[in-house]
Amino acid sequence: MTVSAGANTLAGMAVPPDTGLVRFESVEKSYGASAVAVRDLHLTVERGELLSLLGPSGSGKTTTLMMLAGFEQPTRGRILLEGRDIARTPPHRRGIGVVFQSYALFPHMSVADNIAFPLEVRGVSRREREGRARRALDMVRLAGFGDRRPSQLSGGQQQRVALARALVFEPPIVLLDEPLGALDKNLREEMQFEIRRLHRELGVTMLYVTHDQGEALTLSDRVAVFRAGRIRQLAAPRQLYERPADSFVAGFVGENNRLPGTVLRLDEGECRVRLDAGAEVFATAAAGVAAGGRCVVMVRPERVAVAPVAAEDLGEDALPARLIEAIFQGDHIRLRLSLGSGEVVAKRPAGGGALPEPGGPAALAWDVGHGIAFLEEDAGV
């Protein structure tokens, strides 16, 4: 079975290859003046990429996907698919594959008939439907399951069937709306790699909605982080994690220590900060940070070095702390430490050397590039 990544022509007219497969242009969705779900959205989905929309509940990510699918209509703006405005096109005429969390399989049909259904409504012959359904089952590693009913399958197998059904008619893009939300942890992880494998092998464009940050980082070529109907940052997973655009993204994507303080001085992108907890640290200054202003320094737990010694023995920039507790979590140990009037979390590999005694002195340190000072704002989610 082959899946195209989208043709470069539409009704005989050439479409510039750099315009992307899908474009949202000034798109807004509101439910009255006081309920705006999506605000002035500009977003391009490139051909062949897996782009995830990530954000908390009510941030606008699912509404964005549903507008592309045709189940919601934009209040204003344009949605272009291969250069054609589809904002008013009915869902069944868009030719888009959709996978839902609920699987949405027909219980009275066999697995093979469920997969072949999109081909049947498109007038494909029975013989071709059967052949393409078999190849789709092979593709999702369910060969020999075609005669079963959905009720005879596990949750993970049903999700594979739903994915095969969305791919079988070779759509230009497949939309996945929290498709793994109903699965347990092990199955979720297995299906994440399965979706990634299919994406790489088939080259099909995918738009994936999730509130699970780990899932987005695992699967995606790029991630768009939503909050209050707007995209706060659009970037590759590593950039998103290591160079968040603001304190909201830093707090939502992965775990971060959040240490409020005041900027003492600023020099060529670095700043010295007096933390409210009582210590002083250096940090990389984010946009808008100014000397004398309030900020919040954010540093990942895995970037915090911990030593069971007094701070002065670790260097001039080490911070004096005390260990509250050490929690074994399999591949790493999670440390909770008091830092003045505040608290810091650190992570280190299991078996990574000596630890402070609970209640005993410790020293904390991190490289200046791993602590980022953002403007003090609400980083809640």
* pTM for the full predicted model: 0.87
Q: Can you tell me the distance from the alpha carbon of 297 to that of 274, in angstroms, rounded to the nearest whole number?
A: 10
User: To the nearest 5 percent, what fractions of the chain are helix, strand and coil?
Assistant: 25, 35, 40
Largest CA distance in the chain: 78
Encoded tokens for 256: 């971060």
Would you say 375 and 289 are in contact if contact means Cβ atoms under 8 Å apart? yes
Q: Phi/psi zone of residue 59: left (φ > 0), alpha (ψ -120 to 50 degrees), beta?
A: alpha
DSSP 332-367: EEEEEEEETTEEEEEEEETT-S--PPTTSEEEEE--
Query: How many of the other CB atoms lie within 10 Å of CB of 107?
Result: 8
**DSSP summary character for residue 313:** G
Q: Can you tell me the distance from the alpha carbon of 253 to that of 144, in angstroms, rounded to the nearest whole number?
A: 40
Q: Which residue has the tokens 């949202």?
A: 24
How much is the pLDDT for 10? 31
CATH class, range 9-242: alpha beta
Q: What is the pLDDT along the chain (381 residues), one digit of tens a residue?
A: 444 333 333 333 333 445 699 999 999 999 887 789 999 999 999 999 999 999 999 999 999 999 999 999 999 999 999 999 998 899 989 999 999 888 889 999 999 999 999 999 999 999 999 999 999 999 999 999 999 999 999 988 999 999 999 999 999 999 999 988 878 888 888 889 999 999 999 999 999 999 999 999 999 999 999 999 999 999 999 999 999 999 999 999 999 999 999 999 999 889 999 999 888 899 999 988 999 999 999 999 999 988 887 545 556 678 888 999 999 888 889 999 998 888 999 998 887 667 778 888 888 889 888 999 999 874 444
How much is the pLDDT for 101? 82
Q: Where are the domains of the chain?
A: 9-242, 256-375
Q: Which residue has the tokens 């996945």?
A: 176
Query: How many of the other CB atoms lie within 10 Å of CB of 97?
Result: 25
> Interior CA angle at 196 toward 103 and 217, to 5°?
100
In 31-130, at which residue ranges do the beta strands (DSSP E only) sit? 36-45, 50-54, 76-81, 84-85, 97-100
Q: Which residue has the tokens 């403007």?
A: 375
> Mapping DSSP to helix (H, G, I), strand (E, B) and coil, where does residue 224 land?
strand
pLDDT in tens, 235-263: 999 999 999 999 999 999 999 999 999 99
- Same fold for the pair 9-242 and 256-375: no
Q: Can you tell me the distance from the alpha carbon of 151 to that of 158, in angstroms, rounded to the nearest whole number?
A: 9
Would you say 130 and 202 are in contact if contact means Cβ atoms under 8 Å apart? no
Exposure on the CB side of residue 254, measured as CA atoms within 13 A: 22
How much is the pLDDT for 310? 56
Would you say 233 and 59 are in contact if contact means Cβ atoms under 8 Å apart? no
* Fold (topology level) of 256-375: OB fold (Dihydrolipoamide Acetyltransferase, E2P) (2.40.50)
Would you say 371 and 296 are in contact if contact means Cβ atoms under 8 Å apart? no
pLDDT in tens, 165-206: 999 999 999 999 998 887 888 888 888 999 999 999 999 999
β-strand pairing of 280-285 with 371-375: parallel
Q: Using CB atoms within 10 Å of the CB of residue 216, give its burial: 0 to 12 exposed, 13 to 18 middle, 19+ buried.
A: buried
How much is the pLDDT for 146? 93
- Quote the distance between the C-alpha of residue 180 and its chain's center: 13
Encoded tokens for 243: 């160079």
Q: Which residue has the tokens 């839902």?
A: 100
**DSSP summary character for residue 75:** S
